[in-house]
Structure 1
Amino acid sequence: MTVHFIGAGPGAADLLTLRAVEHLRASPVCVYAGTYIDEAILAHCPPDARKIDTANLDLDQITAELVAADSRGEDVARLCSGDPSLYSALAEQSARLDARGVQWDVTPGVPAYAAAAATLGVELTVPEVTQSVVLTRAQARSTAMPDGEALANFAATGSTLVLHLAITRTRVLAEELTVHYGAECPAAVVFHASKPDQLVLTGTLADIADKVEAAALKQAAVILVGPAVGRTPGAESHLYDACRERA
């Protein structure tokens, strides 16, 4: 059997990949985080699938469920919100499976930041405005950030910033980023990107915290900051330049 770590996307059930749906339909066990994954996504599972919500389970308990399914010869769909390459705890879960000799693979998903950008209708890399996107998070009650990954270091580059797991610290972060981007720098927050209750807040570093607090957002939102977020005009890409040299 195989544990399939599957990117469940940002929330909408029709934003899963074809491969993800195939694994869901073929797996008699589905392990998922109920905080982020709803019944519309779980509807892809077989009617008699065993569904295990990890919301109240620790890593040892989750691993035990995966190993138990392996011992029964059952495939497992291990759903991760967004894409497994970002903040999914893939590293520690896969290490434990390796130690137990359990096979696993990864199916990518649509990351929340991509869904947020699509909702805003923006390109995060605008020629001669910014060509880099930094995906990072804030530190509160979570694990420590590595040395050198201070938010100020990223902000100093002028790149488009996407902040995960940071919505409860919006005001502090906005104040810190204002030093580097200026108070009028465009900022946006997308809550539950692609889901029916999606909420979009747009503004600047000067007022985005006020809007987040008025909406009482506490989780499941990404913050985007940078000139590209406000559709700041840039140069036209050479990719489609009529005068560029053809290969």
Structure 2
Amino acid sequence: MTAAAPQRTEAELADEVAALHQELAALADDRMRAVNEKHGDDHAVNLTTLRAIAKRLKTQPDLARALWSTPAEDSAPKLLALLISRPKQYGEAELDAMLREAPTPKVHEWLVSYMVKKSPHREALREAWFADADPVVASAGWALTSDRIAKAPVGEVPEGIDLDALLAEIEAEMQDAPERLQWAMNQCLAEIGIHDASRRERAIAIGEELEVLKDYPTPPNCTSPFAPAWIEEMVRRAEGRTAQRSR
């Protein structure tokens, strides 16, 4: 049986955080930062490199908390902290506070994806955030709602989620919603259309009426975020996979 690693002192953690800050600073690329700043982010370290550092460090909840809470020049230490965290060790209030202080869209996205979705508090947070007055916080509630819709068994409506009410809210509010909330609502619209055949026609009609992200620049061989196109493409792929399996 392997003995548990001795708990580090605050001074030892501070030294490790300082060393990681130096390592991240040495890896920073100003050109990458400039590109990321166009999307509201500020990190200058390649995310693949960041993941490699996290793989080296492995899961270290105490170091993760120290990295998260220590002021830094950009958000790279917080991104690294999320990669080496243990989500189930974080309470509901702690995750809520972390979301509200997430400094950039990428930190917000990773916090929801890597921490909250794996947390036993995810449903309570989804419900609380969905109704939050802060549109950035509310966008996390919508993202978690989309995740539940996408993961529901085929033909089933996720318990506690009213898809018709969601469609009505999207139809009424998405067009004028702040950008990050609009993106989250648009994803929810697409997920409903992709995963619920009985509501697909309505979801596509709402997307066509609102035209949100209709003209969004989309590289070749990538799926447009315009909900009707997104829905139709994902349904086409699913039908293709089904046809292949039936041969």
TM range (shorter): 0.3 to 0.5
TM-score by length of 2: 0.33
Instruction: Determine which structure has the larger helix proportion and give its number.
Output: 2
The structure showing larger relative contact order (alpha-carbon pairs under 8 Å, at least 6 residues apart) is 1
TM-score by length of 1: 0.33
Instruction: Determine which structure has the larger strand proportion and give its number.
Output: 1
